[in-house]
Amino acid sequence: MADSATPRAAESGSRSSRRVLAVACSGGRDSTALLHATACSARSLGLHVVALHIHHGLNPRADAWLDHVSGQVSAWVDAGLPIELRHERLSGAPAAGDSIEAWARAGRHAALQRLTLAAGADLLLLAHHRRDQAETFLLQALRGAGSAGLSAMPRAQWRDGVCWVRPWLDRPREAVEAYVAEHRLTFIDDDSNTDPRYARNQLRLRVWPALCAQSPGAEAALARAAEWAQQATELQREIATEDLRRWSDATGLSQAMLRSLSAARATNALRAWLHRETERAAPASLIRRLLVEAPEAVIAQWPLGDVTLHLYRGRFAVRPRAPEHAEPVAAQRVDLARPGRHAMPDWRGTLDVEPVTSDGIGLSRLSNVELRPREGGERFQAHGKGVPRSLKKCWQTAGIPAAQREGPLIHVDGRLLFVPGLGLDARLLHADDEAQMALRWTPDAC
């Protein structure tokens, strides 16, 4: 995504021994102030500051912004501040229908992370202040967010070797404005900050003035509410970790958890487990469904994006979803009278024909077998002394979950001979001297 990341101003001191601090600077008012304040402190602390600027390639004035930041950094170098500038120009563009803001944010974050590490720093400062925090809280609340969303922005967060820090998160916006005025700093006025197509701008332009007029302490109060949400989120995480240690293992999550914990606590654990299994947040609608449908269900499954949540024998497990485009496979006749592996791509698996000394089927009977999908109503007899039972019952008795009941049902002379996972029907087992075969079905890996 980068076209360059070169220092644009010189700095003094040995590169290898110095301690480096990165500051993300858009050139706007807040990050200009933070960069200046950081560089001034760095001088007395013996630190070196690397200003990072990301050129999104979206605004026609973006080249001018980079030039502005570059000129400012050069002037500060001349004034003796220990600072240099590195920048990266994002390439590519958001895909049709994607949010421009989300694309720019993701590209900027990745670039800031890369540049920080390349500069030899592990601390990256961002200039968000208390008003930004209050706005974020409000926007999340208007989206109906839960405590994680209402937590807004963390003060410090490690991500892949870089600690992203917002040192001014408690600072009122007016304090930042006062700093800029005091030091006569010049900054870029990004015209997209007044574009009413963006929700945050609408909030800034229309809602915020009215809110402050009505409640002058709104900024502080909302930022405080975000802090409470952060604490609540942390508590939820701790409880989920404890509950999942007790109720889940490598085979899945226990259904009994849903009956044992309070609804709120079960929801919390279920969400955390689904997030761990799928690496994304589960939809609230699914969680609501599970709380109603899952506690007493015996065998069930729920679609979840490109995977499926299965419940079988009291445990939940997440499995890859069978491809939706998979057409039902038509019945077909084949010759299996040859020991070895028979690949069956239409059925997404392989059938092994293996010689056995007892309980097999005569080889010659396999020369003209029919592979059929399940039609319903089939009956199967697992043992010589048993009785034929419905396939569904046989699968349940054998502990084979619905998702694993795949592969062809093999018929010979119109009678069911073999069921994947269950084996050969005892009624058709061989009794003469002819070579006997067992069959084994192995599904392809997903």
Ligand X SMILES: Nc1ncnc2c1ncn2[C@@H]1O[C@H](COP(=O)(O)OP(=O)(O)OP(=O)(O)O)[C@@H](O)[C@H]1O
- Residues 6 or more apart from 337 whose CB is under 8 A from it? 363, 364, 366, 367
The 10 Å Cβ neighbour count of residue 399 is 10
Q: Choose one: 22-30, 257-265, 310-318, 370-378; the region binding ligand X (CB under 6 A).
A: 22-30
- In the chain, what's the furthest Cα-to-Cα distance? 103
301-330 binders of ligand X (CB under 6 A)? none
Residues pairing with 410 in the sheet: 371, 418
User: Is position 30 an interface residue for ligand X (rule: CB under 6 A)?
Assistant: yes
29 lies in the site for ligand X, by CB under 6 A: yes
Tell me how far apart the alpha carbons of residues 47 and 53 are, in angstroms, rounded to a whole number. Answer: 19
- 89 to 118, contacts with ligand X by CB under 6 A? 108
CB closer to ligand X, 108 vs 310: 108
> Should residue 31 be labelled a site residue for ligand X when binding is judged by CB under 6 A?
yes
Q: Is residue 177 within the footprint of ligand X (CB under 6 A)?
A: no
* 14 assigned binding-site residue: no
- Of the pair 29, 271, the CB lying nearest ligand X is at 29
Near ligand X by CB under 6 A, which window of 46-54, 262-270, 321-329, 355-363? 46-54
Give the binding range for ligand X (CB under 6 A) out of 21-29, 212-220, 300-308, 381-389.
21-29
Number of residues that bind ligand X (CB under 6 A): 17
Angle at 287 between CA 283 and CA 288, to 5 degrees: 115
Task: Check residue 444 and report its DSSP letter.
Answer: P
Cα 178–123–164 angle (5° rounding)? 75
**Exposure of 446 by Cβ count < 10 A (0-12 exposed, 13-18 middle, 19+ buried)?**
exposed
Residue 28 lies near ligand X (rule: CB under 6 A):
yes
Query: Does 17 appear as a known binding residue?
Result: no
Q: Which is nearer to ligand X, 152 or 369 (CB)?
A: 152
> Which one, 113 or 381, has the nearer CB to ligand X?
113
53, 89, 131, 310: residue in contact with ligand X (rule CB under 6 A): 53
- 147-179 in b/e form (b: 16+ CB < 10 A) is bbbbbbbeeeeeeeebebbbbbbebbbeebeeb
Residue 269 CB, shortest distance to ligand X, in Å, is 34
Q: Does 126 bind ligand X (CB under 6 A)?
A: yes
Minimum Å distance from CB 92 to ligand X?
16
Binding flag, residue 271, ligand X (CB under 6 A): no
Q: Is 152 in the site for ligand X (CB under 6 A)?
A: no
Q: Which two tokens stand for residue 164?
A: 């992203």
| 190 binding ligand X? (CB under 6 A) | yes
- 310 near 402, Cβ under 8 Å? yes
Taking the C-alpha atoms of residue 89 and residue 117, their distance in angstroms, rounded to an integer, is 17
Residue 128 binding ligand X, by CB under 6 A: yes
Do the strands 409-412 and 369-372 form a parallel or antiparallel pair, or are they unpaired? Answer: antiparallel
Separation between Cα atoms, residue 97 and residue 305, nearest integer Å? 19
In the bound state with ligand X, the residue whose beta carbon lies nearer, of 128 and 310, is 128
Taking CB under 6 A as the rule, does residue 86 contact ligand X?
no
Give the residues lining the site for ligand X (CB under 6 A). 24-26, 28-31, 52-54, 108, 126-128, 132, 190, 193
